[in-house]
Chain A
Amino acid sequence: GAGAGAGGQRERQREEAQWVLLAEESITDALENTNCGPVFTRLRNPKTDEASLYLFNSNASQIYEVKAFDENYHSWFIGQSVQSDGRLLFVTPLDPLFLVLPYFLKATEQQAKYWLVDQIMKDEDFPGCSTLLKCPRTLQSVHHIADEKEIGDQKFYKYSQEKTLLWLKKKVKQTVKALKSNNLNVGGGVQSSTFIRSKQAAEVTEEDYLRYAHGLLSDYLPGALSVELLKILGLPDVSTKAAAIEPPLKKRKLTDKPVEAEEDYTKFNSDSKDKKSSKMTAAQKSLAKVDKSGMKNISAFFAPKNKGPS
């Protein structure tokens, strides 16, 4: 490590990768009673369909998601060393149903029948996904998203969108509650989080809370399900509404004529004879038909007045 010194030319030691992580202590609980400590695992992210990092605690009784606070220009001083990766990792509990859900969805898409859970939770890219079934909570709560059938001593499952949406609606309600108790700014306007209003902004509506909670949950859902949830919550889809308000893009008509400036003033200065033959617009034509008797040419108003001496 490098102390606060300049003691001659020091050999730069290879920086060992370190990371700073915030997690609840219980992650390492039951470490003695098991040979399976906490494990970082890459699993399919339900929203992006791509790899994200998660963590199973000792015994894999709970799944946690790993999020990183990542901002430019940050580094850590850790003990007597420097870590150029200034990220702060958060390990927070996650409902395993969010990670299981896409597999149930996919199985139904394949064939709308009852499946064995081991058949559903199969993923060549992420073999760790079957570990989710070890979390006691997974099988205890899977009835929130699937119909169950027991045959003999085996349980079969079929994804139910109806149930899932009901479950998600409850999640939205819980999230709204949490948003309110944490005094989160869910309003549309941009507002500094360090700015404290003397009273709660009046314009924040229940719909703002619902929409915010929906958006937050959508970060854990496949896109199609997020849209369905929006419908069930009775929230109009903002993105399509906004698209309708946006003016359509102007499209240029394609012609064979050479491109020329729309307002070419030089034309009016030319003496070309074909000036009159130029086509008039409908407005000009109708104007030409107007009875002009008694009307003065506009230039007459600017002509010098030849008043005789009175």
Chain B
Amino acid sequence: MEAALLASGSARLQSAVPGVCRAEDCCLGIDEAGRGPVLGPMVYGICFCPISKREQLAQLKVADSKTLTEDEREKLFTKLNDANDFVGWALRILSPNEISTGMQQRSKYNLNTMSHDTAIGLIQYALDSGVQLKEVYVDTVGPAEKYQAKLKELFPELEITVKAKADSLFPIVSAASICAKVARDRSVKSWTFIENLGDVNVDYGSGYPNDPKTKEWLSSNVDPVFGYPQFVRFSWSTAQVILDSKAVPVHWEDDGKDGDKKDTPSVLSFFEKKTVDPKLQSHRYFTERKLVSIANL
């Protein structure tokens, strides 16, 4: 598996679809890795296999990725990848830049919706590849019932189970979580900065906000104008707080739209008599074009 990806977009990686998955009823598990960190991408993984081979999958001893060391995960991923006669997988890597821009765009695209949409996209990918999907198991993001209802509405023909801790309950979800976690680890480790940073210090720790190394890296790598390289999720409050104190303030047109009513004129002001001196009021040709006379450069 090659975990190199475009820093700004998202990438999908997938195994070949085993023939048996096209012929037999299959189950599919979904899990994610890298939801919390302030650095690096978020990775979504799916794993699928025929329902009849569920026992065989369990024998690979896949377990919740969080209980495993990095080494064990790598080994398990190799095993999964080698079992390509009945196990298939696919990954969607959401770059930190995509997360930042999504969450900070004018109409906010929050992380939960992004997660849901990515999961939906991967289920659709499996269906489009001819996998005979019957059952889908998902580790929940947000309230499980709502998420399940949403998926059910989109895929009425599938049996969908959304559950917290699904990665430790269903081997197919565990397998998906291993794929996601391995992909996340590799892409962070081999991150190639598209920015011309020279000899950047790459000792940024785990990338989680509570890691002192990560925090230290964040506060010593602020550019006053640009902030951070695209490796950092700008939308994380950890990054925001450091930017607020160390970088130049930047004002956007939709600043303070939420809650801050300072700039909203009172309705009464529209009925007030305009007291602008007609001498200083320029013609609408100029005001419509934001053209003003100036006295100084």
Knowing A19-B297, A53-B294, A73-B251 touch, does A2 contact B224 (C-beta < 8 A)? yes
Question: In the complex, what distance in Å separates the CA atom of A2 from the CA atom of B223?
Answer: 8
B225 contact set on A, CB distance < 8 A: 2, 82
Question: In the complex, what distance in Å separates the CA atom of A292 from the CA atom of B220?
Answer: 96
In this complex, how many residues of chain B approach chain A with their Cβ under 8 Å: the count is 37
Knowing A7-B197, A212-B285 touch, does A223 contact B278 (C-beta < 8 A)? yes
B190 contact set on A, CB distance < 8 A: none
Shortest C-beta distance, A310 to chain B (Å), equals 63
Give a binary string over B220-245; 1 marks a CB under 8 Å from any A CB, 0 the rest.
11111111110000000000000000
Give a binary string over A180-219; 1 marks a CB under 8 Å from any B CB, 0 the rest.
0000100000000100000000000000000010011011
Q: With an 8 A cutoff between CB atoms, is B272 at the interface?
A: no
Q: With an 8 A cutoff between CB atoms, is A236 at the interface?
A: no
Shortest C-beta distance, A195 to chain B (Å), equals 13
Instruction: Tell me which of B221, B253, B282, B284 contacts A6 (CB under 8 A).
Output: B221
B280 contact set on A, CB distance < 8 A: 48
When the two chains form their complex, are residues B196 and A3 in contact, meaning their CB atoms are under 8 A apart?
yes
Q: With an 8 A cutoff between CB atoms, is B289 at the interface?
A: yes
When the two chains form their complex, are residues A49 and B284 in contact, meaning their CB atoms are under 8 A apart?
no
Q: Which of A61-69, A151-159, A162-170, A266-274 is near enough to bind chain B? A: A61-69
Extra inter-chain contacts (20) besides given A2-B223, A212-B285, CB under 8 Å: A2-B226, A4-B195, A4-B226, A6-B221, A6-B229, A12-B224, A47-B279, A48-B279, A49-B279, A52-B293, A52-B294, A53-B293, A53-B294, A66-B293, A67-B293, A68-B292, A69-B289, A71-B290, A193-B288, A215-B284
Knowing A69-B289, A212-B285, A219-B286 touch, does A6 contact B222 (C-beta < 8 A)? yes
5 closest A-B pairs by beta carbon, nearest first, are A6-B223, A6-B221, A215-B283, A51-B295, A2-B225
Knowing A3-B196, A10-B224 touch, does A69 contact B290 (C-beta < 8 A)? yes
Q: With an 8 A cutoff between CB atoms, is B198 at the interface?
A: yes
Q: With an 8 A cutoff between CB atoms, is B296 at the interface?
A: yes
When the two chains form their complex, are residues A67 and B197 in contact, meaning their CB atoms are under 8 A apart?
no
In this complex, how many residues of chain A approach chain B with their Cβ under 8 Å: the count is 42
When the two chains form their complex, are residues B295 and A50 in contact, meaning their CB atoms are under 8 A apart?
yes
Q: CB-nearest residue of chain A relative to B232?
A: A6
Give B149-198 interface residues, CB cut-off 8 Å to A. Answer: 195-198
- Interchain Cβ contacts under 8 Å between A and B, 11 examples: A3-B196, A5-B195, A5-B196, A6-B200, A6-B228, A6-B229, A52-B293, A53-B297, A67-B292, A73-B252, A219-B285
Give A66-85 interface residues, CB cut-off 8 Å to B. Answer: 66-73, 82
The prevalent SS among residues of B at the interface is loop
Listed in ascending order, the chain B residues whose CB lies under 8 Å from chain A are 195-198, 200, 220-229, 248, 251-253, 278-280, 282-286, 288-297
Count CB-based A-B contacts (< 8 Å).
98
Question: In the complex, what distance in Å separates the CA atom of A7 from the CA atom of B297?
Answer: 33
Q: With an 8 A cutoff between CB atoms, is A40 at the interface?
A: yes
When the two chains form their complex, are residues B285 and A7 in contact, meaning their CB atoms are under 8 A apart?
no
When the two chains form their complex, are residues A9 and B288 in contact, meaning their CB atoms are under 8 A apart?
no
Question: In the complex, what distance in Å separates the CA atom of A53 from the CA atom of B297?
Answer: 8
Q: With an 8 A cutoff between CB atoms, is A134 at the interface?
A: no
Q: CB-nearest residue of chain B relative to A49?
A: B279
When the two chains form their complex, are residues B291 and A67 in contact, meaning their CB atoms are under 8 A apart?
yes
Knowing A53-B297, A223-B278 touch, does A70 contact B229 (C-beta < 8 A)? no
Q: With an 8 A cutoff between CB atoms, is A98 at the interface?
A: no
When the two chains form their complex, are residues B228 and A68 in contact, meaning their CB atoms are under 8 A apart?
no
B297 contact set on A, CB distance < 8 A: 17, 19, 40, 53
Give a binary string over A251-274; 1 marks a CB under 8 Å from any B CB, 0 the rest.
000000000000000000000000
Give a binary string over A67-108; 1 marks a CB under 8 Å from any B CB, 0 the rest.
111111100000000100000011000000000000000000
A247 contact set on B, CB distance < 8 A: none
Instruction: Tell me which of A67, A72, A73, A212 contacts B294 (CB under 8 A).
Output: A67
Instruction: Tell me which of A4, A17, A40 contacts B196 (CB under 8 A).
Output: A4
Q: With an 8 A cutoff between CB atoms, is A45 at the interface?
A: yes
Question: In the complex, what distance in Å separates the CA atom of A42 from the CA atom of B248?
Answer: 33
When the two chains form their complex, are residues B283 and A6 in contact, meaning their CB atoms are under 8 A apart?
no
B221 contact set on A, CB distance < 8 A: 6, 8
Among B220, B225, B279, B280, find the residue whose CB has the most chain A CB atoms closer than 10 A.
B225
Shortest C-beta distance, A176 to chain B (Å), equals 13
Question: In the complex, what distance in Å separates the CA atom of A111 from the CA atom of B297?
Answer: 37
Shortest C-beta distance, A225 to chain B (Å), equals 13
Instruction: Tell me which of B223, B248, B278 contacts A5 (CB under 8 A).
Output: B223
B251 contact set on A, CB distance < 8 A: 73
Knowing A2-B226, A49-B279, A219-B282 touch, does A9 contact B290 (C-beta < 8 A)? no
Question: In the complex, what distance in Å separates the CA atom of A66 from the CA atom of B291?
Answer: 10
Question: In the complex, what distance in Å separates the CA atom of A17 from the CA atom of B297?
Answer: 9
